[in-house]
Amino acid sequence: MARYKIVLEYDGTRYYGWQAQKGSRTIQGEFFTVFDKLFPGERCEFYGAGRTDSGVHALHQVAHLEIKSEIQPTKLMYSVNDLLPSDIHVLHVEKCDVRFHARYDAIARSYVYLISSRRTAFEKAHCWWIRDSLDLRKMNAVAKSWEGRHDFRSFTDQTPEEGSTLVEVNFIDFHHSGDLTAIHITGSHFLWKMVRRLTGILVEVGRGNIREKEATKLVSEFSGLPARHTAPPSGLYLHQVYYPGDAIQRGREYMPVLLNF
């Protein structure tokens, strides 16, 4: 058996999330279709580092592929890209240890949520247009209070019975360029819908609809408030996946693709 680490990007607009689902078009499902053509009759194991939701994008998703066949990594990359739809693209392939697991070996992940202060005809599937003025000082104060290890049960539909809702948030930063604001969040892992609900609450704080004190308490007291303010998927990007030895990237210079739409 051979195992390969695959780095890819995708526009999630046309897809029902990452995970293969019968009757729905997904990112993982598109890869399985390609692998069936390249390796007919072979059983392929293909896991991603994170299961992005419907409509969510990725700049640097990581996956691993395990197959019986040995193939040169560059040839595998070109062969897969030739068969993938144009809105999914493999950036890099390398052979890895057979014990490497894209999801379980990851030590941190980062997401970026992109907000536009003006209406745009071209990027509406890739950002959230908010016409209201946002108080970024208040938003930043709340974001800083969420850094560290907290129980983010209020920000997910996942129940405690399905696993721990404790998450270590390394940082939440804000970056600006023209009409765009990027919320950059990095943590140990993220719960289902967590980043979109964090964003939604921050926006409501910025609008003045939720008080700072009320928002900071959401990581100490359970509330259904975040579920009512889930940000749309269009502005969310899986930005980076980190593994042992990787330096966590922080700063405006690490997201030029996003802030130069």
Query: Residue 195: in which H helix or E strand, if any?
Result: helix 194-207
Q: Could you count the other beta carbons within 10 Å of the beta carbon of residue 174?
A: 16
CA quadruple 68, 71, 73, 77: dihedral sign: negative
**What residues are annotated to the active site?**
53
Burial of 136 (0-12, 13-18, 19+ CB in 10 A): middle
Q: Which long-range contacts (CB under 8 A, 24 or more apart) does 14-20 make?
A: 14/87, 15/54, 15/55, 16/54, 17/51, 17/52, 17/53, 17/54, 17/56, 18/48, 18/50, 18/51, 18/52, 18/61, 19/51
Q: CA 233, CA 256: separation in Å to the nearest integer?
A: 20
Query: Residue 111: in which H helix or E strand, if any?
Result: strand 108-116
Name residue 11's amino acid: D
